[in-house]
């Protein structure tokens, strides 16, 4: 059976600058795949390429065996691939509730928006309390909850989450990982990019380490050798 999502010898970048060099990953259904790596390793570029936001030069991206390479982002979202971007990217002048509604645009999600909104509010009671608040006035942690909530309104089959704990206080980091664990327990397929390696490894079924646009380690979550991971993480290019 084909894996749910497969990235095969992918090259992608910005204009003449290539960033990803023959990157291959296999994302199994229902699993949490963690991608770690230092700043600039290309983790965000990889997620953006999957979503059709960065052009793919060569290689392929397959969802259920069918290529989604360079496809319109909108079509990819309708097929259930959802990205929760680094930096949250919420709409600061809109209310919490209206931000959530922005995630309910695909027709299938529009039909279920009420139930989905309730599911998000059950998951994040803080968002329910603040449903009328202008999103630009939320704390960093609340804004991250909103970004995750908006992603869940899109009824994802695969959720690509980019650095959700970045810049958050420890108590908020705990909260975000609690949610990731909850979504994992619900059977959602998750691709999590994190710099907080220690925390991310605890939820990982599979771990990839990226370095300078390449995958330099691919390991089952329970088989990761931390010394090797750290040595590769901090290794400098020759």
Task: Give the residues lining the site for ligand ATP (CB under 6 A).
Answer: 14, 17, 19, 37, 39-45, 86, 195
Least Cβ distance, residue 59 to ligand ATP (angstroms): 16
Least Cβ distance, residue 39 to ligand ATP (angstroms): 3
Alpha carbon distance 98, 100 (integer Å): 5
Closest C-alpha among 36, 5, 3, 31 to residue 189: 31
Least Cβ distance, residue 183 to ligand ATP (angstroms): 21
Nearer CB in complex with ligand ATP: 6/162: 162
Q: What is the DSSP letter of 4?
A: S
Least Cβ distance, residue 161 to ligand ATP (angstroms): 13
Least Cβ distance, residue 213 to ligand ATP (angstroms): 7
Buried b (16+ CB within 10 A) or exposed e, 48-74: bbbbbebebeebebbbeeeebbebeee
Nearer CB in complex with ligand ATP: 84/104: 84
Nearer CB in complex with ligand ATP: 19/217: 19
Cβ count near 203 (within 10 Å): 17
Nearer CB in complex with ligand ATP: 13/106: 13
Nearer CB in complex with ligand ATP: 87/187: 87
Whether the Cβ atoms of residue 6 and residue 189 lie closer than 8 Å to each other: no
């Amino acid at each position: 059976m084909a894996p749910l999502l497969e990235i095969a010898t992918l090259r992608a970048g910005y204009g003449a600058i290539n960033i990803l060099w023959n990157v291959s990953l296999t994302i199994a259904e229902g699993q949490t795949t963690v991608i770690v790596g230092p700043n600039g390793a290309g983790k965000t570029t990889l997620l953006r390429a999957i979503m059709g936001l960065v052009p793919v030069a060569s290689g392929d991206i397959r969802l259920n065996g069918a290529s989604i390479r360079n496809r319109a982002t909108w079509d990819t979202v309708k097929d259930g691939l959802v990205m929760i971007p680094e930096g949250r990217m919420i709409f600061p002048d809109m209310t919490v509730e209206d931000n959530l509604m922005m995630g309910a645009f695909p027709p299938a999600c529009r039909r279920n928006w009420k139930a989905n909104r309730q599911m998000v509010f059950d998951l994040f009671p803080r968002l329910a309390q603040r449903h009328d608040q202008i999103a630009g006035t939320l704390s960093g942690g609340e804004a991250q909850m909103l970004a995750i909530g908006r992603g869940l309104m899109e009824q994802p089959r695969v959720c690509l989450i980019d650095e959700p704990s970045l810049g958050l206080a420890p108590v908020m980091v705990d909260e975000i990982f609690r949610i990731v664990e909850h979504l994992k327990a619900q059977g959602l397929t998750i691709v999590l990019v994190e710099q907080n390696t220690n925390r991310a490894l605890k939820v990982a079924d599979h771990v990839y380490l990226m370095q300078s646009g390449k995958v330099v380690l691919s390991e089952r979550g329970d088989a990761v050798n931390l010394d090797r991971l750290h040595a590769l993480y901090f290794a400098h290019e020759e």
